[in-house]
A and B are shown apart, each in its own frame.
Chain A
Amino acid sequence: MSISRRRSRLGNGFTQSPTAWWWAPALFLCLVTLFSGGCKDTSDESEFKEITLFTMQLRPTFDEYFFERFAEFERTHPGVKIRWMDQPYQNYETKLITTFIAESAPDVINLPNESVPTFARAQFITELEPLLPQEVFDSYVPLIIQEGCKYQGKIYSLPWYVSTPVTMCNRKVFEEAGIDFTGPPQYNEELPEICRQIQENTDKFGFFQTYAEAGSLATMIVQVRVPLLDESRTRAIFNQPRAVKAVEFWTDLYRQGLVPSECLTSKHRRPIELYKSGRLAILHIAPQFLRQVKADAPDVYRNTVVGPQIHWRDHAVYKIEMHTIAVSRQSKHPNLAAELAAFLTNAESQMKFCKLTTILPSVSAALKDPFFSEPDDTPEGQARAFSAHQVANGIVVLPPPKASKVYVIFNEITTQICLGKLSASEGLQLAEERVNEILLK
């Protein structure tokens, strides 16, 4: 009884105390201050013009290169300061979109070419032709800028570094399986037998075909020179015998158990992990990943032999993967931002960048450099040469309209074929019908 009375007195005393009334607003103000701490007003006109650059997964590996380039740009553009933000690959585009919604988008943006139409359609990035002289656009490999940087006939980004996949083989796994290794396989047709032998004689796998990636089915189709859509890009036309045969081939690998079971649920990171752990014989990948193999799995790297991308006997089609640089529509200094984009993608900058890792330049002049055509003995040098040679026969695959819905259908159908619920021809017929329904809506 006495305790409760004392508590009550304490409570009343507290509320009657004048200082008590300050506590709650003070706490609230503290919270407000805490939350507003991050919202710095950037609208101040300072003596510097700040240009922000947003890139994908390049720090800290290439810090030295970029800071040298920034210093050079700042030297030729007095009063300009470059601020560099780098984000990992995971959810890169989503993070970028968030900055646009918050109206705090960076000025200069590194975009994979598949995202260019999406960002242009959303009016996030600006058309570059009014901002830069024609000779800038003329300096790039025509196929790359024409196919990979345009939206509705207008150039929205500048090509940056490109690559085509190469083949990495772990010679040790081949030898363990009793296969006389004379070099990486050249043709897809050789894969089933190699996989079978490796699986029968070792506890490892020959190849990892990803079926869970958004573009897996599309890649299978375009690699046999079958287009996904007609020229007007309004109708799906991929249900053709060559495409059916190709899809049948790749899904048969799964049905026959020649590739890991998890191919159905894992994405492109998984084969890299398996290759680095020595459990996969053949890796089909962009050459810049060789650097990762060298750093993370030196033993596997020592046994790695690089070859050109494995292709069909009668269809050597190489998918060009490319990064581009675009300029934000929200930029307060669009001309400067475009100049920085052109500077980072010019022959000199690209050449310097390419010497640091196994990537290729998109500038015609740089691509002719003997550095790319005359390989040294290292796996990196060979990968670079194979990749450069393949660019000549390369294709740039554009995402179809309403890609999010089309890819979901592709993904479902591929799974159904792999699980044996549909044959390849039934699957492609159904996929074509469903995609056309979506495109017509």
Chain B
Amino acid sequence: MKFSSSRTRQIALAYLFLLPAFVIIGLFQVYPMIQAFLFSFTDFSPLNPETSFIGLANFVELVQDPAFWLALKNTLLYLIVVPVIIVLSISLSLLVEPKIPFINFFRAGYYVPVVTMMVVVALVWKEIFNTDYGVLNYVLKKLGAIEEGIPWLTREHIALFTIMTVTIWKGLGYYMVMFIVGLRAISPDMLEAALIDGASRWQTLLHVKIPALWPTITLVSILSSISALQVFEEIFIMTSGQIGTATLVYEIYKKGFSMAYGGGMEMGYACAMGVVLFALVFGFSFFTVRTMGQYHTTGEN
């Protein structure tokens, strides 16, 4: 097959326009990723005058490090937010999708947390969840639901779940918008056909809307699970990774970048953790696309 010269020129020009993007992505994303992978086999630290190749020693140390296993467990546990966020944002999108007066007010209201900085959100929620002075415990006490303040952020097994609620609250509006777009894309003919067939609202939802929303659900699953696996700001602000709430990204920060614990800055070790996180995110996204994408095809059939 032979391309005409104008076609070749068109392709060449397209690549020329892509060049700045290639250079920037290559320089600031691909190159650091490769570098991080290589660093994971060294004892690199800005505080080490010399860097040496140490093979798999960082990974061996990782396997023996209880802090890493705890962080990995917490990171995987954090994936609980994914199904919750999907169910809640679909419900919310169904509520705000109809065109009724003032509905834009509610849509904007649910979207406000998305455009608020996570640092601000986490600081405000940290105050709300404060055991001794927090509004939440105050209200619960006034209602007579509790006698002693619940240690929302200062007890193991509670703190991580408390932080998850903030992640869910903040992300809900974003995914809600995606589902509204998905709902708008459903052909009115299909909904009308379901109505003529005598389907109830529940049956319409289960057998028409949800299958039609499946590509959006797949996308939201991937995006929200990547975000969940990379959670950092909430943990950093609300508990400083204390009382067993550290996640992988928090541990990477602590080991590689923080001087707060006596100046470790063990970048080689942090890079090894980064490689594990990369494998986790990649594996999870691949798994989601394979399983959910397949399901989607079956649904279409």
Contacts and interface: CB of A to CB of B under 8 A. Distances in A.
B44 to A, nearest CB: 11
A269 B104 CA distance: 41
B262 A21 contact: no
A214 B243 CA distance: 14
A266 B244 CA distance: 14
Contact of A31 (B20, B156, B242, B261): B20
A399 B130 contact: no
Interface residues of A, number: 48
A94 B153 contact: no
B261 A24 contact: no
B204 interface: no
Interface string A93-133: 11001001100000000000011001001110000000000
Given A260-B132, A262-B131, A265-B154, A214 B261 contact: yes
A404 B262 contact: yes
Given A399-B262, A405-B264, A407-B261, A121 B47 contact: yes
Interface string A14-43: 011000110111011001000000000000
Contacts of A16: 6, 9
A212 B239 CA distance: 9
B230 interface: no
Contact of A212 (B132, B240, B259): B240
A5 B245 CA distance: 59
Contacts of B154: 261-262, 264-265
Interface stretch (B11-19, B33-41, B107-115, B285-293): B11-19
Contacts of B263: 93, 115, 118, 399, 403-404
A319 interface: no
B59 interface: no
Given A24-B19, A265-B239, A419 B156 contact: yes
B257 interface: yes
B64 to A, nearest CB: 11
Contact of B243 (A11, A407, A419): A419
Nearest to A421: B156
Main secondary structure of the interface of B (DSSP, over half): loop
A279 B263 CA distance: 33
Contacts of A114: 262
A267 B237 CA distance: 11
B16 A24 contact: yes
A267 B131 CA distance: 16
A232 interface: no
A61 interface: no
B240 A267 contact: yes
Interface of A: 11-12, 15-16, 20-21, 23-25, 27-28, 31, 91-94, 97, 100-101, 114-115, 118, 121-123, 205, 212, 214, 260-262, 264-267, 279, 399-400, 403-408, 411-412, 415, 419
A92 to B, nearest CB: 8
Nearest to A259: B132
Interface string B233-276: 00000111011100000000001011111111110000000000
B258 to A, nearest CB: 7
A100 B17 CA distance: 36
Interface of B: 6, 9-10, 13, 16-17, 19-20, 23-24, 46-49, 67, 130-133, 149, 151, 153-156, 159, 238-240, 242-244, 255, 257-266
Contacts of B47: 97, 118, 121-122
Closest 6 CB pairs of A and B: A403-B262, A404-B264, A261-B131, A24-B16, A93-B259, A122-B47
A267 B10 CA distance: 59
A21 B13 contact: yes
A14 to B, nearest CB: 8
Contacts of A12: 6, 10
A91 B19 contact: no
A265 B240 contact: yes
Nearest to A124: B47
B10 A11 contact: yes
Nearest to B264: A404
A34 to B, nearest CB: 11
Contact of B130 (A23, A262, A404, A406): A262
A261 B9 contact: no
B132 A261 contact: yes
16 contacts: A15-B9, A16-B9, A24-B16, A28-B19, A31-B23, A31-B24, A92-B259, A94-B265, A97-B265, A121-B47, A260-B132, A264-B243, A265-B238, A265-B240, A267-B240, A279-B133
Given A261-B149, A261-B154, A214 B262 contact: yes
A414 to B, nearest CB: 10
Given A12-B10, A122-B48, A408 B67 contact: yes
By CB atoms of chain A within 10 A, which of B19, B243, B261 has the most?
A: B261
B34 to A, nearest CB: 18
B20 A27 contact: yes
